[in-house]
Structure 1
Amino acid sequence: MARGFLGRCPHCGEGRIFGRYLKVRPECAHCGLQMHHHRADDLPPYVVIFVVAHIVGYLILELEMGYDVPLWFQLTFWPLATLGMALALLQPVKGAVVGLQYALGMHGFATLPSAGSEGPEESRFGPADERDPDARAGLRRA
């Protein structure tokens, strides 16, 4: 999630997630991780609204209770501060959501890019021998 919050590939940490402000790249240019299947949907804006509204609401309340601030200042500063905070947090939060989906193996992130350019992708949950208890015990099904 931290790599995604910083706008980096959740797999390698080198490539960038975003091609534009909120457009996720189809794949990582560095490691080849397929990211086109992510489903961030409405969670990033919801989290940003939740966080920004609590911060701005608290600051407005504190300012109103403690100081006599002119109305013209309130009507110009708080909308600009809210918009600035929301725009600053939206991309990092979306990157963190993509990182969370990667960490949990959701929406096609269950496979990792292969080491070479050829060959099948490996499962992020380990080779088949480690996942199958019969294979670990040396019992092969015929």
Structure 2
Amino acid sequence: MTYYQEQSPVSTGLKGRCPRCGEGHLFDGFLSVKPKCSACGLDFAFADSGDGPAVFVILLAGFLICGAALVVEVKYTPPFWVHALIFGPMVLIVCLGLLRPMKGLMIALQYRNNAREGRLDSRDA
């Protein structure tokens, strides 16, 4: 049996690495998770981040971009097309730039905390 040094879920998740060994890649493409780690063989079947990463990215990007848009509006009062020209691409860049690292972080935290799908207790009452 091989023992692996415990990896930081933050560093492995944000880099898109295997949460167990920190060597293999977690993703196969932009957001699709590989079936298993190429380095240690960890089965990634447990990895189900759901909508969590998207929710956190939306909240963070909304806070940053709406705040920036409000500052620009109050300080410079530009026409609407300037807002669209500046903040339209910024929304795409921030959201797509944060989505993969957040999904990796959620999967790494799921592995670290041994989080599984909820099950009902089948014991007799």
Q: 2:41 matched to which residue of 1?
A: 32
Aligned residues: 108
Q: Does 1:88 align with 2:97?
A: yes
For the pair shown, the structure with the greater C-alpha radius of gyration is 1
Looking at structure 2, the residues matched to 25 and 33 of structure 1 have their Cα atoms a distance apart, in angstroms, of 10
AA of the residue aligned to 2:112:
A
Structure with higher RCO (Cα < 8 A, 6+ apart): 2
Q: 1:43 matched to which residue of 2?
A: 52
Cα-Cα RMSD: 1.3
State the secondary structure of the residue aligned to 2:34: coil
Looking at structure 2, the residues matched to 77 and 66 of structure 1 have their Cα atoms a distance apart, in angstroms, of 15
Looking at structure 2, the residues matched to 71 and 61 of structure 1 have their Cα atoms a distance apart, in angstroms, of 12
AA of the residue aligned to 1:34:
D
AA of the residue aligned to 2:36:
E
Identity %: 33
- Equivalent residue runs for 1:109-124 within 5 Å: none
**What TM-score do you get using the length of structure 1 for normalisation?**
0.72
Q: Which runs of 4+ in 1 moved over 4 A?
A: none
| 1:49 shift after superposition | 0.2
Please list every run of 5 or more consecutive structure 2 residues that lacks an aligned counterpart in the other structure. 1-8, 118-125
**What TM-score do you get using the length of structure 2 for normalisation?**
0.82
Please list every run of 5 or more consecutive structure 1 residues that lacks an aligned counterpart in the other structure. 109-142
